[in-house]
A and B are shown apart, each in its own frame.
Chain A
């Protein structure tokens, strides 16, 4: 079960999780007994319990949860995210949220998504004192250890969350280079961290905030374009003095695919593709009726990808030459149960849709768009 090892683990946790102690609590280990006595004594390094210590309302549609995880939490680098596990009506749902640090606590900011079960639950139902679970931090969308001379950050909507963590960390470290943030939102009221960003801009001369509102109220409007890039660069000394060549700042982008593509193209065009870093927020495929939704079916462990059709995943895996465990082929024996790491599938018996990381039975699951399986 152990995927990560946490070097900062305390001595008592190492002892309680040692081979001998676990042998006394075979087969499921000592952690299961400890967490019955106190949930924070859990030794689970993959689903780390965390109490909600405070909740801040950021906008009408978003909150920041301040979290206190137990001693299994290994710490994170700004820009990383983790899977947040939330129980709703007995089911554990997981979503990726970016991690930030605020007032000595871990903070995640969650914006309500249209029809978003988990984001709505987090915004409307969770209260201080509730227990949620976190995966260890993941992701390589982080600032380089040696900070570059200048930074350009581009974010849209809740794509600000990893950018904000990087920005605050850089400024807190006393970073002296220029940072420009090009930030896309519907309007000011829906802008996450609006006042925090303005405060940062007024206290740090090297940080320039360039908000873009699609309602046209800001200086800039519309989608990302070369004009926006030039406006952002105007805050920085981008022409290096001795060669006269254009030198673009290191760029970090988080937002929808279209924005990432647009910025990437500009950077490629100007010959600075290597300075471009992006984090994608995958939108859940919208599901309508019984129409066949084709996509790519990725078998992660077999390193194999096929284009999918409407047959069940078990048949498609077998057609791709894989030999997954299987049994009854009618959804009762759970032999073919398999972890879906990404994507959505429809349960062919109940019609229920499963989104994101979840165990599914291959023999009764029909893919809806791109799906990745741990197979």
Chain B
């Protein structure tokens, strides 16, 4: 959004890059037991939460008034609160489990943050997550394209995800009038959105690819979608027999909870006010220092407590995540102290704020950019 107002000369960029690199190397050298214990603990919490949430959903069926109606009316009325308690606990619990799996566990494992453990269960090549996009597809579209070409217009497909106008430098088109509607749909069906984004479905519209080009990847993505949706929306509901719709409703709620949360956190990573975007030309042959500089200016953090950071998959430390995508994410909080000091030293902005205010600026942008630019000389990216 912003033009580049914090220009640095190559020597400054190198010095800045060297200091950031030193922070990274210190963290990498320190990797060990502590990181392994952390990710194992999280996977354990995820598994136990998933099991208990699914049990809670099925337990709620026992208290469904309709199923008790045969005994007595009083009993069936009295069972309402118990039903709702177990049903909501199960749905929310499963939603939280999916969030943990997708964000702090899956996203970070697929980034290769735990590859050094040498354990296939925590390895980017083997781990697959509880969402529609196959892990290996994500590894390409996200780890490589988005993390290497962060916020470079026409290179980073995460700018607007191919359907939204999230940067004033994106050319306006009447279809963008529906920006808020598309954004809402993407939020509710974020799992599907991510899967389709992974196969570059948007390149069909732009004509960059034909259906035949996209089909092999799309097939894998649809197979994964069938696996995940088949589990949540067919297999588990079938176990409930005639109460199929109740379990289906619980599982749909869990997925939607996960979708809204992930969308919100992820959109706060690169789209709040103050985040910079870049042109392809300005990034040609860029030095490591310049790369770090672009990652810093192209990302924004969220403030919050420890639980919030875990639930956001530490994407609340989006800046650190973009500087150090393969450092175990639970270290970002402690690394951010040093990063901020370095930024202050070089007079660089460090974009951070609470979820509600950052998120508000994102939605303002979604509405604002739906409209054509009022100023014919729209701001150009740096």
| A contacts, CB < 8 Å to B | 1, 20, 23-24, 26-28, 32-33, 36, 46-47, 87, 89-94, 325, 327-328, 330-335, 337, 350, 358-359, 361
Decide if B227 touches A332 in the complex (CB within 8 Å).
Answer: no
Decide if A1 touches B112 in the complex (CB within 8 Å).
Answer: no
Known A-B contacts A89-B32, A91-B116; A332 and B326 likewise in contact (beta carbons under 8 Å): yes
How many residues in B have their beta carbons less than 8 Å from beta carbons of A?
49
- B28 partner residues in chain A, CB cutoff 8 A: 350
User: Taking the complex as formed, is B320 at the interface, i.e. its CB lies under 8 A from any CB of chain A?
Assistant: no
- A20 partner residues in chain B, CB cutoff 8 A: 235
Decide if B128 touches A91 in the complex (CB within 8 Å).
Answer: no
List 8 additional A-B contacts (Cβ < 8 Å) besides A46-B120, A91-B116, A327-B143.
A20-B235, A26-B230, A28-B121, A89-B33, A93-B118, A331-B326, A334-B139, A350-B29
CA–CA, A90 to B125, complex, Å?
18
Within 8 A of A (CB), among B128-161: 128-130, 139-140, 143-144, 147-148
* A-B contact list, 21 entries, CB within 8 Å: A1-B120, A20-B235, A23-B231, A27-B228, A28-B128, A32-B43, A33-B47, A90-B32, A90-B34, A91-B32, A91-B116, A327-B144, A328-B148, A330-B288, A332-B143, A332-B148, A333-B143, A335-B140, A335-B143, A350-B25, A358-B118
User: Taking the complex as formed, is B367 at the interface, i.e. its CB lies under 8 A from any CB of chain A?
Assistant: no
Decide if A328 touches B235 in the complex (CB within 8 Å).
Answer: no
Decide if A359 touches B115 in the complex (CB within 8 Å).
Answer: yes
- A328 partner residues in chain B, CB cutoff 8 A: 144, 147-148
- A359 partner residues in chain B, CB cutoff 8 A: 115, 118, 123, 125
| B contacts, CB < 8 Å to A | 25, 28-29, 31-37, 43-44, 47-48, 50-51, 111-112, 115-121, 123-130, 139-140, 143-144, 147-148, 224, 227-228, 230-231, 235-236, 288, 325-326
CA–CA, A27 to B136, complex, Å?
13
Known A-B contacts A26-B228, A334-B326; A90 and B33 likewise in contact (beta carbons under 8 Å): yes
Decide if B224 touches A27 in the complex (CB within 8 Å).
Answer: yes
**Majority secondary structure, A binding face:** loop
Known A-B contacts A90-B31, A90-B117; A27 and B128 likewise in contact (beta carbons under 8 Å): yes
Q: In this complex, what residue of B is CB-closest to A92?
A: B118
Q: In this complex, what residue of B is CB-closest to A328?
A: B148
Decide if A27 touches B129 in the complex (CB within 8 Å).
Answer: yes
CA–CA, A337 to B116, complex, Å?
11
- A92 partner residues in chain B, CB cutoff 8 A: 117-119
CA–CA, A332 to B291, complex, Å?
12
Decide if A28 touches B127 in the complex (CB within 8 Å).
Answer: yes
The 9 closest A-B pairs by CB, nearest first: A334-B112, A90-B36, A327-B144, A92-B118, A27-B128, A89-B32, A333-B143, A36-B47, A90-B32
Q: In this complex, what residue of B is CB-closest to A357?
A: B118
CA–CA, A328 to B148, complex, Å?
6
Known A-B contacts A24-B231, A24-B235, A358-B118; A335 and B126 likewise in contact (beta carbons under 8 Å): no
Tell which of A27, A46, A47, A89 touches B130, judged by Cβ atoms closer than 8 Å. Answer: A27
Decide if B117 touches A36 in the complex (CB within 8 Å).
Answer: no
Decide if A333 touches B33 in the complex (CB within 8 Å).
Answer: no
CA–CA, A24 to B50, complex, Å?
11
CA–CA, A327 to B142, complex, Å?
11
Known A-B contacts A89-B33, A332-B148; A36 and B118 likewise in contact (beta carbons under 8 Å): no
Decide if A36 touches B36 in the complex (CB within 8 Å).
Answer: no
Decide if A333 touches B144 in the complex (CB within 8 Å).
Answer: yes
Known A-B contacts A90-B117, A350-B29; A335 and B139 likewise in contact (beta carbons under 8 Å): yes
CA–CA, A87 to B36, complex, Å?
10
- B25 partner residues in chain A, CB cutoff 8 A: 350
Tell which of A32, A33, A91, A332 touches B325, judged by Cβ atoms closer than 8 Å. Answer: A332
Known A-B contacts A36-B44, A90-B36; A27 and B115 likewise in contact (beta carbons under 8 Å): no
CA–CA, A91 to B115, complex, Å?
9
CA–CA, A337 to B118, complex, Å?
12
- B111 partner residues in chain A, CB cutoff 8 A: 334
Q: In this complex, what residue of B is CB-closest to A133?
A: B119
Q: In this complex, what residue of B is CB-closest to A94?
A: B118
CA–CA, A335 to B119, complex, Å?
17
CA–CA, A325 to B147, complex, Å?
16
Decide if A36 touches B115 in the complex (CB within 8 Å).
Answer: no
CA–CA, A89 to B116, complex, Å?
11
Residue of A27, A90, A334, A358 most packed against chain B (CB within 10 A): A90
Known A-B contacts A28-B127, A334-B111, A337-B124; A33 and B50 likewise in contact (beta carbons under 8 Å): yes
CA–CA, A89 to B36, complex, Å?
8
Question: What's the nearest-Cβ distance from chain A to residue B193, in Å?
Answer: 19
- B326 partner residues in chain A, CB cutoff 8 A: 331-332, 334
Q: In this complex, what residue of A is CB-closest to B128?
A: A27
- A91 partner residues in chain B, CB cutoff 8 A: 32, 36, 116-118
